[in-house]
Amino acid sequence: MNLKWRYWIVKGALHPARCDEIIKTSKSEKEVVAYTSEANETKTQEEVLKDIKALDTRNSNVVWLNKPWINKLIEPYLRSANEQAGWNFNINVVENTQFTIYNVGQHYTWHVDQFEDPFKSQTILNGKTRKLSTTLLLNDDFEGGEFVFDFTDLKYKLENTIEIVEMKKGDIIVFPSFVHHKVNPVTKGTRYSAVQWWCGDPFK
């Protein structure tokens, strides 16, 4: 697939106070170890910690948030990006927000957000697939933790298909969920972000 816009970034989308509010809300919820699609969702936290393969891929903690008010903050930027970037994907449901926590040394290696098959569940996600991903950076008082894209699979005629995206607190990045990306290891401080996956009927 050859996309005109590989990603869309909105600088200063959210006021710093809003970002702080999301961090405060998230810290009041239960924090768990993040797993990847390679790690079985039925595993206990202790089993995930022992899964070296999973930790080699992703080493971070998350908090799952079912907060409609966060969706309402981000959705206008998601809809605008979907239209202005020319993707025009059919989007009709969003998963719960994933508040991500990367401490020093933690990272997430190359991956895509979209699963091979549509969701099979007894929820509103049944039969849907991830189409657009959003990352809201909630702070910038850390070092490392860069957000990086790899556009090799998009068949662009580029000299360099690797792109590091410079983000500041309150910035939102929107991109197709099938694009490879990663978060580099944090070298100082703690990196906080709010990640969402916006879903719709499978691509045809």
Query: Coil, strand, or helix at residue 118?
Result: coil
pLDDT digits (tens, 9 = 90+) for 10-44: 999 999 999 999 999 999 998 887 755 444 444 55
Q: What is the bridge-based pairing of β-strands 107-111 and 180-183?
A: antiparallel
Distance of CA 60 to the CA centre of its chain: 13
Q: Which domains does the chain have, with CATH numbers?
A: 8-200 (2.60.120.620)
| 4 DSSP assignment | S
Phi (first) and psi of residue 125, to 5 degrees: -85, -10
> Up-side HSE of residue 192: CA atoms within 13 Å toward CB?
18
Given CA atoms 48, 53, 59, 60 in this order, what sign does their dihedral have?
negative
Q: Which residue has the higher pLDDT, 164 or 34?
A: 164
Q: Which of 72-81, 148-157, 181-190 has the lowest mean pLDDT?
A: 148-157
Taking 3-state DSSP, the helix, strand and coil percentages for the chain, each rounded to the nearest 5, stand at 20, 35, 45
So what's the pLDDT on residue 154?
64
Whole-prediction pTM? 0.87
Residue 57's identity, in one-letter code, is: T
So what's the pLDDT on residue 119?
87
Q: Which of 13-22, 97-106, 146-155 has the lowest mean pLDDT?
A: 146-155
